[in-house]
Amino acid sequence: MTNLFRTRIKGSLADSNLQSALDANAERRLQVRQNAFASLADPQGLRARAHLVRAEVIEHLESYLELFIEHAQVNGIQIHHAADADQAIKIVLEIASQTGAKLIAKSKTMVSEEIGLNHALEKQGIQVVETDLGEYIVQLRGEAPSHIITPAVHLRRQDVGKLFEEKLGLPYTEDIGIMTALARRTLRQVFMDADIGISGVNFGVAETGTLCVVTNEGNGRMVTTVPRTHIALMGIERLVPTMDDLALMLSLLPRSATGQKLSVYTSLLNSPRRSDDPDGPQERHVILVDNGRTAVRESELREILYCIRCGACLNACPVFREIGGHAYISIHGKGSPYSGPMGSVVSPALFGQDDYGHLARASSLCGACREACPVDIDLPKLLLKIRAGIGANQAQYHPKPNAPELLAMGLRLFSLAATSPRRYAIAQRLVGLFGSLATLLSKGDPWMRLPGFSGWGYSKDFPRPAGKSFRTRYSSQIKPKADDHDKSPRPGDISATGPTEIDTAQIDSRELVKKFAAELEALGAKFIFCSPEAVLPKILELLQGRGIDEILAWDAAYLPGGLLQRLSETGVQIIHPTGETVQTNSHIRLGLSGASAAIADTGSLLLLGGPGRPLTVSLLPEIHIALVWAKDVFEQLNQVLQLVVIKEAPAAVLISGPSRTADIEMTLTIGVHGPAELHVICMESS
């Protein structure tokens, strides 16, 4: 480790506020992740399948890229290729110049952090505003994100309250709900005024050219829907072959990242706005960023390209949980956008072994990162390769000693003993005698206090060796026969097969509706089951209770027959929004839409964009009412993603509850950039 790195680590360990914040994040993240994975029938089997899918993509990356580009271009998406960070920045600047952009609204994208995009745009006089709440907070502080999922995990509510007071002139408060509402109000105008929206891409689907963007707050939907130009930054490795593979990844990513079965908003973007579409960007650009990934793919570190950026390994890592993301710096003190176990491999792989190779030393190699990884990346093995000096640009690896002499001597002695059964048995007996004597002299204390002069031993104690080794104790017992062992397969001992087929015809539709209702209500949404004739009274009851007399709505053709006319006859003003009227309609409190499908497993709705179906209806108002037929409730996500109508729409979105965030002190707050209330009316099918 370098002196700068050691200094940063010591500073992190001495920061009591940071320690409290990291502890709270780790405890909550691990618990919700565990609960979310418990709902899967075979999580280990899904991890194994996901690993094979990612391996297949990286192995045949050129073919999948070619297929993705072909379909995306047919859909009207403009594709750009960036070999490195400078070229990616140049492409963004060219698009900004062509569109005359002065303000850019940005959703979370780690690729933009990787290439230093914000700084480059600001140098050219273009204002860039981060719109994810956590990213917005750290941007106001002039900091980089400290976690790839929760960027402001290192801050307390008092820090955020003071920041908003100093930077935004807002009254000081420690109420997280109020702070979130203030940020929503400030950023809403940014969305309305932005010339360009920039986002990342969680997955690109090769068979359809679809972009998948996953968010909870709604800012991802805003930047990909409201501005007239959308730019998506995408690492070339972020592909899945098919929609079925996307369903697999979506069953793992939200559970690993935030402990959700599905994120609140899963956007599926196929094309820019078409001539008869009511909203959406006029142009949609995808910048495929290499920036060292091809070199990594051709090296012994290629498995790190399987990473889906969920952050689970950070939350599980005992080192990250003590030092936080800002401690991961280069030998020159420059921070890396990627921290934790994955960052300790990605950073040296992409940015250079010489500058970032020491980060791999900040690991106990306990394996918690691999256990947490949803695609089963062997991170401990990759960390050892980084420690051994393997980089992305080496044609051939030549081992070289890099351990301190004292450690090397100890390893040589261990190797001498471990390579001979006789010497190993003698060593065990000697260590056992030493342990018994030491325990006797220390009056039964089971721990050895290591000498502080070693540095490593300064903060560690070591358990005393047992008087009798396990081998000695085991040999005195009767060994069980092989036939006595349970030969049933373990959960992880599976073959990489496709998803289990479910005969939905055998599933009672009423049971599906009940399951959907339970999952939906668990997300904080409201569920109503009624006949088509009862829909109007239910809507009027809600409108009158809130004092609402004007609403945004889909066209009548996509809602139950006569519903809008009858609403209008009661005095409710019906507005059909377009991209040009976003500013005018942004104050309207309620949106009414249909839904093409629902998913019982996750409590999610599928909304399709297109003529007569503006997606802003389900995004801009604070209250969203969605109507879905009981016959359109499906059991699983993969069944819905196979619907042809998704591929035919310019854009679609899966909605799982009201918008939310936990970016401040891991406190769940409902209602950020999207609606704070979701009411689903499920209509009996005739």
Question: Is the CB of residue 619 less than 8 Å from the CB of residue 672?
Answer: no
Question: Is the CB of residue 488 less than 8 Å from the CB of residue 640?
Answer: no
Reference 608, options 659, 651, 647, 638; nearest CA is 651
Q: pLDDT value at position 635? A: 97
Mean pLDDT, residues 381-407 taken together: 77
Dihedral angle over CA of 405, 408, 412, 414, nearest 10: 120
Q: pLDDT value at position 496? A: 37
Mean pLDDT, residues 586-614 taken together: 97
Burial label for 575, CB within 10 Å (0-12, 13-18, 19+), is middle
Mean pLDDT, residues 375-399 taken together: 84
* Average pLDDT taken over every residue of the chain: 91
Q: pLDDT value at position 429? A: 82
Confidence of residue 485 (pLDDT cuts 50, 70, 90): very low
- Residue 575: beta bridge partners? 552
Q: CA Rg, the chain, in Å?
A: 28
Q: pLDDT at residue 118 above 70?
A: yes
What is the rounded distance in angstroms from the CA atom of residue 186 to the CA atom of residue 176? Answer: 15
What is the rounded distance in angstroms from the CA atom of residue 147 to the CA atom of residue 138? Answer: 11
Is the domain of 85 the same as that of 190?
yes
Confidence of residue 443 (pLDDT cuts 50, 70, 90): low
Reference 471, options 512, 422, 434; nearest CA is 422
**Residue 439 DSSP label:** H
User: 378-392, 486-500, 627-641: which range is least confident on average?
Assistant: 486-500
Q: Is 644 helix (H, G, I), strand (E, B) or coil?
A: helix
Question: Is the CB of residue 249 less than 8 Å from the CB of residue 203?
Answer: yes
Q: pLDDT value at position 685? A: 78
Is the domain of 357 the same as that of 287?
no
Flag whether 51 is in a domain: no
Flag whether 259 is in a domain: yes
Q: pLDDT value at position 581? A: 84
Q: pLDDT at residue 90 above 80?
A: yes
Q: pLDDT value at position 162? A: 97
Q: pLDDT value at position 498? A: 43
Confidence of residue 400 (pLDDT cuts 50, 70, 90): low
Rounded alpha-carbon distances, angstroms, from residue 467 to 193, 418, 424, 434: 73, 19, 16, 8
What is the rounded distance in angstroms from the CA atom of residue 219 to the CA atom of residue 591? Answer: 18
Kindly tell me the number of DSSP H helices and DSSP E strands found in the chain: 28, 24
Residue 497 is which amino acid? T
Using the 3D structure, point to which of 393, 428, 452 is the last residue of a domain.
393
Q: pLDDT value at position 569? A: 97
What is the rounded distance in angstroms from the CA atom of residue 130 to the CA atom of residue 145? Answer: 11
Confidence of residue 364 (pLDDT cuts 50, 70, 90): very high
SS3 content of the chain, % helix, strand, coil (to 5): 50, 15, 35
Q: pLDDT at residue 488 above 80?
A: no
Mean pLDDT, residues 363-375 taken together: 97
Interior CA angle at 581 toward 575 and 584, to 5°? 85
Q: pLDDT value at position 465? A: 74
Q: Is 612 helix (H, G, I), strand (E, B) or coil?
A: coil
Mean pLDDT, residues 513-520 taken together: 98
Q: pLDDT at residue 672 above 80?
A: yes
Confidence of residue 529 (pLDDT cuts 50, 70, 90): very high
Q: What is the CATH number of the domain that holds 370?
A: 1.10.1060
Flag whether 454 is in a domain: no
State both tokens at 669: 């707050």
- Residue 599: beta bridge partners? 604, 634
Interior CA angle at 75 toward 74 and 76, to 5°? 90
Is the domain of 308 the same as that of 419?
no
Flag whether 503 is in a domain: no
Flag whether 451 is in a domain: no
Mean pLDDT, residues 378-404 taken together: 79
Is the domain of 419 the same as that of 383?
no
Q: pLDDT value at position 453? A: 53
Mean pLDDT, residues 272-286 taken together: 97
Higher pLDDT, 472 or 415: 415
Is the domain of 97 the same as that of 227?
yes
Is the domain of 386 the same as that of 423?
no
Is the domain of 265 the same as that of 305?
no
Is the domain of 124 the same as that of 226?
yes
Confidence of residue 89 (pLDDT cuts 50, 70, 90): very high
Is the domain of 386 the same as that of 531?
no
Mean pLDDT, residues 52-62 taken together: 98
Confidence of residue 528 (pLDDT cuts 50, 70, 90): very high
Reference 623, options 650, 594, 588; nearest CA is 588
Question: Which residues have C-beta within 8 Å of that of residue 354, sequence separation ≥ 6?
Answer: 331
Q: Is 284 helix (H, G, I), strand (E, B) or coil?
A: strand
Q: pLDDT value at position 506? A: 42
Q: pLDDT at residue 301 above 70?
A: yes
Per-residue pLDDT reduced to its tens digit, 174-205:
999 999 999 999 999 999 999 999 999 999 99
User: 156-160, 326-330, 490-494: which range is least confident on average?
Assistant: 490-494
Give the range of the structural domain holding residue 674, as residue numbers without chain letter: 510-683
Flag whether 459 is in a domain: no
**Residue 472 DSSP label:** H
Is the domain of 521 the same as that of 570?
yes
What is the rounded distance in angstroms from the CA atom of residue 622 to the CA atom of residue 616? Answer: 12
What is the rounded distance in angstroms from the CA atom of residue 653 to the CA atom of residue 262? Answer: 12
Per-residue pLDDT reduced to its tens digit, 127-150:
999 999 999 999 999 999 999 999
User: 200-204, 227-231, 436-440, 574-578: which range is least confident on average?
Assistant: 436-440
Mean pLDDT, residues 469-478 taken together: 71
Q: pLDDT value at position 578? A: 87
Q: pLDDT at residue 154 above 70?
A: yes
Q: pLDDT at residue 450 above 90?
A: no
Is the domain of 287 the same as that of 304?
no
State the residue for tokens 């990884």. Answer: 373
Using the 3D structure, point to which of 293, 319, 354 is the last residue of a domain.
293
Q: pLDDT value at position 157? A: 95
Q: pLDDT at residue 340 above 50?
A: yes
State both tokens at 538: 């239910």
- Residue 210: beta bridge partners? 205
Q: pLDDT value at position 276? A: 94
Mean pLDDT, residues 113-126 taken together: 98
Flag whether 486 is in a domain: no
Flag whether 381 is in a domain: yes
Confidence of residue 433 (pLDDT cuts 50, 70, 90): confident
Residue 636 is which amino acid? Q
Q: What is the CATH number of the domain that holds 588?
A: 3.40.50.10420
Q: How many domains does the chain have?
A: 4
Q: pLDDT value at position 490? A: 37
A 10 A CB-CB count for 561 gives 10
Q: pLDDT at residue 502 above 60?
A: no
Q: pLDDT value at position 403? A: 67
Please say whether the dihedral angle defined by the alpha carbons of residues 331, 336, 340 and 341, taken in this order, is positive or negative: negative
Per-residue pLDDT reduced to its tens digit, 623-658:
999 999 999 999 999 999 999 999 999 999 999 999
Is the domain of 206 the same as that of 252?
yes
What is the rounded distance in angstroms from the CA atom of residue 157 to the CA atom of residue 176? Answer: 7
